Chains A and B, each alone.
Chain A
Amino acid sequence: MSCGTIPGVAIIPVSWSGLRTDMLTQRLSNIVFALVIVAAAVWFAIEAQGFKAAGLLASSGLPSKFFPQLTLGFIILCAIVVIALYGTKKYAGSDVASTVYKNATEARQGLAVLAVAVASYIIWSKFGFIIMAVLMGPLCLVAMGIRSPKIYIVVLLLTGFVYVVFTQLLNIRLV
């Protein structure tokens, strides 16, 4: 398995420099993720205490906070079970020993394309649709390490096709 640092891996809950994909085991990541879920759920449940009804419109049997808090309680319960399962060695799940990513290349490609998606969203909001649409395809291909110029041309042609279908056939304003 390849080693080395992975740029962009900081999005994953556990992150410190020098992280190697073979250290990012399913067990560790799952426990950390479940802990994050528990913390978030507790925060949301406390937040729900502050819900104020806007008016006196028809009193319903249950207050607004009931359903969110009920589901959050259930989420916490499930997350604790997940932590317990990964914590004990007895867990029969086949993924305890395996890692989240098979190797550094896969991790880099997946996370880089995710970064392109986020960047595209920002570009669309700042510079408009056309610039975003033109950049999105090539950026994705760079992120995946594609070198063939043929693919770049095909993707740009498809981008144009999508634009024409939505603006001309479906009459949707893309700005």
Chain B
Amino acid sequence: MLANTEALFQAVTQLSQPITLLLLVLGIVIGLIIGILPGLGPPIAIALALPFTFYLDPVPSIILLLGIYSAAIYGGSISAIAVGIPGTGAAIATVQDGHKMFSAGRGGEALGFSLTGSIFGGLVSVVCLAFIAPLLAEFAVRFGPRENLAISVFGLMVVVRVAGQSLSKGLLMGALGLFLTTWGLDELNGTERYTFGSYHLYEGLPLVPFLVGLFAMSEVFISAERAHHKIQFNQSSLKVKLPGWSTLMKMKDVLLRSSLIGTVIGIIPGEGAAVGAFFAYSEAKRRSKKPEAFGTGIPEGIVAPETANNATVGGALVPTLTLGVPGSPAAAVLLGALIIQGLSPGTQLFVEHPDLMYAIFIGLFAINILMIFIGLVAIRFAARLIMVPTSVIVPTVMLLSFVGVYSVSNSFFNVGVMLGAGILGYVVRKLGYSIAPLSIGFVLGPILENSLRQSLTLADGSVQEFFNTPIGLTIYAALALTILWGPVSGRFKRRQIS
């Protein structure tokens, strides 16, 4: 980042306009609310606000949309923790430990950990964006089919790690998730696969309705079974507790690692907050001294995915701003907003508009700081949700899920998919399967299949060409190390003992 004091001054002047400051707050509030609602995630939230930016200057409009983006990703985790329903895909990994902790009467604490992690991840990724964006862009353009394949194969390792108690059951769910993504028209040659004669299925099973069904509806049915149970909690769980300095220091490795994982995954076009969060969760579990404690409701299980999913925001902006290639669906809408403002995101953007670059960096920083305060207000309410009887939660969440997935694209078909996924999720959860690997398989499936097939096209029959990817080979090597590390270090320790 070249120091350009004039542009910096311009950026600060534009940011300190009252209208910009107002939009900053407004963006965070809107984003939080929409993020909390099941089904409606960051892309919809940004698209809804887009028409207002037609009447604004570039800096206030981008600040409004960035505020919505950051807060919507964070908002998803509030409902994940308090109701067990990820408001957005980004919050799926948070459900596992977050909701367990909440149900165990430590809601205020759980929400505090999630807020802290989110802010930390957001800030680290802004710093990365501000200082090494061109370097990161260089990395992002190197990601083609072969590199995406390597990262997807790595993602399959995550399935293994969140498999739950039974490995074979976890793998079955992971494979089922992958299989279900093959429905619809084959992206590479237009072949109809399992469309059952309905054009509604040409696009396959839609991601958001599927995930909302899998998590929210199955949770609704399971909650209904216990509608008359009294939830045990003590008054202290209602109070939001932010983790203290010593707790944070204990978790500094998890925080830093997850921030970097989130930023890097965010950079890779086409991956997203959900994948970043899962990677961070599984990495924290692998490194932990007590991996078996993950999934039972521990702080690390909340902090890791929450830090990572907010770190993807800064990461996703790297290719969006420097290449004109959105790093996530939400970033795609943001890109559209910039283009409407008459800017051409691409390699020239920051050269031609350094003041905009500074405004984005400083604005994102301010958004993350302000989110602490607005977030605190929101989670104070959320912590009290434990006092709401299950009998009220069940019908309300059911209605919200119905309306939420319908609103994604005004599609009644979406509601049907959600219901089907909900019944599937309910049956498998009742039979002791974990739905986490199913959802990861469903997220990874399209990337895995398409990158595999395109890599083979690129290789044109040559094995050497297939592995002609330094980044890919590095990822494969890292994968091999993480698999082998356990047994090797275990044997080494045993030898020392004997």
A in complex with B: yes
User: Residues on A close to B: CB < 8 A?
Assistant: 11-12, 26, 29-30, 33, 37, 44, 47-48, 51-55, 57-62, 64, 66-68, 71-72, 74-75, 78-79, 81-82, 85, 93, 95, 100-101, 105-107, 109-114, 116-118, 120-121, 124-125, 132-133, 136-137, 140-141, 143-146, 151, 154-155, 158-159, 162, 166, 170-174
Per the bound structure, the CA–CA distance linking A49 and B456 in Å amounts to 21
A55 and B179 contacting across the interface, CB-CB below 8 Å: no
Is the CB of B348 closer than 8 A to any CB of chain A? Answer: no
Instruction: Pick from B402, B407, B431: contact of A29, CB below 8 A.
Output: B431
Per the bound structure, the CA–CA distance linking A51 and B189 in Å amounts to 11
A81 and B392 contacting across the interface, CB-CB below 8 Å: no
**B172's closest neighbor in chain A, by CB?**
A78
B415 and A146 contacting across the interface, CB-CB below 8 Å: no
CB distance from A138 to the nearest CB of B (A): 8
CB distance from B481 to the nearest CB of A (A): 24
B398 and A136 contacting across the interface, CB-CB below 8 Å: yes
Per the bound structure, the CA–CA distance linking A33 and B426 in Å amounts to 13
A151 and B389 contacting across the interface, CB-CB below 8 Å: yes
Per the bound structure, the CA–CA distance linking A51 and B186 in Å amounts to 10
Per the bound structure, the CA–CA distance linking A162 and B352 in Å amounts to 45
Is the CB of B249 closer than 8 A to any CB of chain A? Answer: no
Interface string of B356-385 (1 = CB under 8 A from A): 000000000000000000000000000000
CB distance from A170 to the nearest CB of B (A): 6
| Chain B contacts for A64, CB-based, 8 A | 186, 188-189, 191, 193
A145 and B190 contacting across the interface, CB-CB below 8 Å: no
A51 and B431 contacting across the interface, CB-CB below 8 Å: no
Interface string of B159-177 (1 = CB under 8 A from A): 0000001101101100110
Question: Do A30 and B431 form a contact, CB below 8 Å, given A121-B415, A170-B48?
Answer: yes
**B178's closest neighbor in chain A, by CB?**
A71
Interface string of B405-431 (1 = CB under 8 A from A): 011001010011001001100111011
B427 and A140 contacting across the interface, CB-CB below 8 Å: no
Per the bound structure, the CA–CA distance linking A101 and B303 in Å amounts to 33
Instruction: Pick from B168, B221, B419: contact of A121, CB below 8 A.
Output: B419
A61 and B456 contacting across the interface, CB-CB below 8 Å: yes
| Chain A contacts for B169, CB-based, 8 A | 78, 82
Question: Do A166 and B412 form a contact, CB below 8 Å, given A121-B419, A155-B396?
Answer: no
B222 and A117 contacting across the interface, CB-CB below 8 Å: no
CB distance from A47 to the nearest CB of B (A): 7
